[in-house]
Amino acid sequence: MKKIPTLFIRDPSNPLRVINEVNSLCQWVVNGEGIATRKWDGQPILLQDGLMYKRYTGDIKGYSGNPLGAISCGEEEDTTPIWWVIVTYRNEDKHIRATMENQRLWNKAHNGTYEIVGPNFCHNREKVDKDLLIKHGSNGMFSSAPTNFVDLVEWIRNFDIEGLVWHHPDGRMAKIRKSDLGLRRDPRLNGISARAGERPMPTHDIGGESGF
C-alpha cells in the first residue's frame, strides 16, 4: 500500500494544514466517484502472503528491529520515507500479536491493510474497550460527507473522528485529516454528528474479519 494522497494541497507556509485547492491526484473525489469512509487513528498493519507488517516512518537504517523484508510505501508529504516492516516476537510488537491472536485472525484474515485501535495504541483515541483489528474501508461510511472545502470544514467539525478516506472502485484512495483543516478532535462528540444526526458505525460492532 502506497501513501494515500491528501484531498487538498498543502499550505506552502504551513505544511500541517491544507488550502482550498484540490489535489489534482484526487479530482475524482470532487467528481463524486468515491465513497467516504472513516479514517481510524491507530497502528496501520499490512497482511500479505502469510506475513504481518507494521508501518514504520523514517530511515530504514535507523529501525531498531529487523529491516529484512521491509517494503517501501513511498514518502510522507515532507519526503520522510515510509516502510512496512515485519512484525516480530520482539516485546515492542507484543500488543500487535496479542490482538491478532485474540481475534484468531493471524491465519484467517485476508491480504490487505488494516488498523489496530484500542487501549494499547495511539492513546486509544477511538475510545474502545479492547484492542481491535479493523479492515480499512470496511466500517464507518459517510454518505453525506461533502467534498467542497468550506462545506467539509463545517461538516467534519461535528464528528470526533481522525478524518476520512475516499475509496474509488478502481482502488485509488484519497484522505483528509481533521487536523489538516485546522480542527481538533473533540471527545465530547463521541463520534456522533452534533448537527446532522449521523453516526459512524460503532466500534464495538466490529468483529469477525473486520480489519484495516
Dihedral pair phi/psi, residue 65, rounded to 5°:
-90, -155
Q: How much of the chain exceeds pLDDT 90, in percent?
A: 43
The residues, ordered by sequence, that sit 6+ positions from 19 with a Cβ below 8 Å of its Cβ are 8, 9, 10, 11
Task: Give per-residue burial for 108-144: e unless 16+ CB within 10 Å, then b.
Answer: ebeebbbbbbbebbeebbbebeebbbbbbbbbbbbee
* pTM greater than 0.85: no
Task: Give me the chain's average pLDDT, please.
Answer: 81
pLDDT over threshold 90, residue 27: yes
Instruction: Give the number of other Cβ atoms within 10 Å of residue 7's Cβ.
Output: 27
pLDDT over threshold 70, residue 200: no
The SS3 assignment for 32 reads coil
pLDDT over threshold 70, residue 76: no
Task: Judge whether 66 and 86 are in contact, CB under 8 Å.
Answer: yes
Output the pLDDT for position 103: 66
Tell me the per-residue pLDDT of 125-154, one tens digit each, with 9 for 90 and over. 888 899 988 888 776 678 889 999 999 999
pLDDT over threshold 80, residue 208: no
Burial of 59 (0-12, 13-18, 19+ CB in 10 A): exposed
